[in-house]
Amino acid sequence: MSTKSNTVERNANSTAKSSSLKEICARALTKSEWEDKDEFLDVIYWSRQVFGILLGIIWGIVPLKGFLGLVLFAGISCGVVYLYAINFQNVDEDAYGGAWELVKEGFMTSFAGFLVTWIIFYTGLHYDSIMAAKPT
Amino acid sequence: MWSDTFLIVFISICTAFLGEGLTWVLVYRTEKYQRLKSEVDKQSKKLERRKETHGDSLDKSVKKKIERYEEKLKNNNRDLSLVKMKSMFATGFAFTALLSMFNSIFDGRVVAQLPFTPISWIQGLSHRNLSGDDYTDCSFIFLYILCTMSIRQNIQKLLGFAPSRAASKQGGGLFGPTPAQFK
């Protein structure tokens, strides 16, 4: 019975915690303890989506071209997540099933978002020069 | 060029909401789904915790218990996938119809320029229904799929319809082996 009430209590706590977005953002920006693993993974997931879109916009404005753009994105995205989780937040990677689990969290979705913004900005901003450079 | 690409993003946002709405009507709001989902989530978390605490224990009774839990979870996961199947068919039909409509609207039109040359097995998709050999031309379907990949999953997560991490880690439903089996 006591375990049941404990679980209920913990669940109640976690919902109370997850309700305040501001608090989570503040904790994400400073070094803090993460009792709820899902909460930390959510922070990684959403920041990664935003980060992917931002990189897509930058790559499109520059414009970066070719395989280099893809490799740079993958490298930066994984590297930043790894450094953020292990060096900045100091989380125990084994508790999350290894660093790989952290690095791949939301990667494909952010990759798709990155490609979309990269393609849109590249096409929209540089269309005339791309067409001029093409052999007719 | 902006107009085509933004139109495609808008279309994929609309279809993502339509798909989720349809699934909500057919599946998410049903009592059976909610019961199964909460059960699967609870059991996955319990199993994960149990595995963590008794990880390498050689005790046979503990192992048997864990196996029994896994079996139960597998059954529930299967039921959950079957419940979802109904809506998958419905959305599948709706999307095939919509996609063929959009395909005919954008037929043979270059909607964007790719900043990279896709690898050969993606070229079939990125250069679908386009003429010429310039593989940096992007077809409607490629951009639409990319948009859907990012938008639909984010919407699912935002609305809380995505399967929980513990469940997808333990179960995997009908699709593929679970990572736990590789351990």
Q: Which of B113, B146, B153 has its CB closest to that of A116?
A: B146
Q: Note whether A130 contacts B: Cβ–Cβ < 8 A.
A: yes
User: How does residue B181 score in pLDDT terms, banded at 50, 70 and 90?
Assistant: very low
A75 vs A47, A83, B9, B61, B124, CA distance in Å?
Answer: 16, 12, 26, 46, 27
Residue A128 to residue B57: CA distance in whole angstroms:
66
Percent of chain B with pLDDT over 90: 31
Percent of chain B with pLDDT over 70: 90
The answer, as to whether pTM is greater than 0.90, is no
Give me the mean pLDDT over the A44-68 stretch: 93
Looking at residue A96, its pLDDT comes to: 83
Q: Select from B48, B63, B157, B69 the least CA-distant residue to A95.
A: B48
Interchain pair B150, A113: CB under 8 A: yes
* B146 contacts in chain A (CB < 8 Å): 112, 115-116, 119
Nearest residue in B to A46, CA atom: B154
Contacts of B163 (CB under 8 A, 6+ apart): B37, B171
- Please give, rounded to a whole number of angstroms, the shortest distance from the CA of B144 to a CA of chain A: 9
Give me the mean pLDDT over the A30-51 stretch: 87
Residue B174 to residue B78: CA distance in whole angstroms:
6
**Which tens digit of pLDDT belongs to each residue from B4-45?**
999 999 999 999 999 999 899 988 888 888 898 888 888 888
Q: Is A65 exposed, middle or buried (0-12, 13-18, 19+ CB in 10 A)?
A: middle
Which residues 83-122 in chain B show a CB within 8 A of chain A?
A: 112-117
* A45 contacts in chain B (CB < 8 Å): 157
**B86 vs A9, higher pLDDT:** B86
Q: Is this complex's ipTM strictly greater than 0.90?
A: no
User: How does residue A93 score in pLDDT terms, banded at 50, 70 and 90?
Assistant: confident
Residue A42 to residue A29: CA distance in whole angstroms:
14
Contacts of B24 (CB under 8 A, 6+ apart): B161
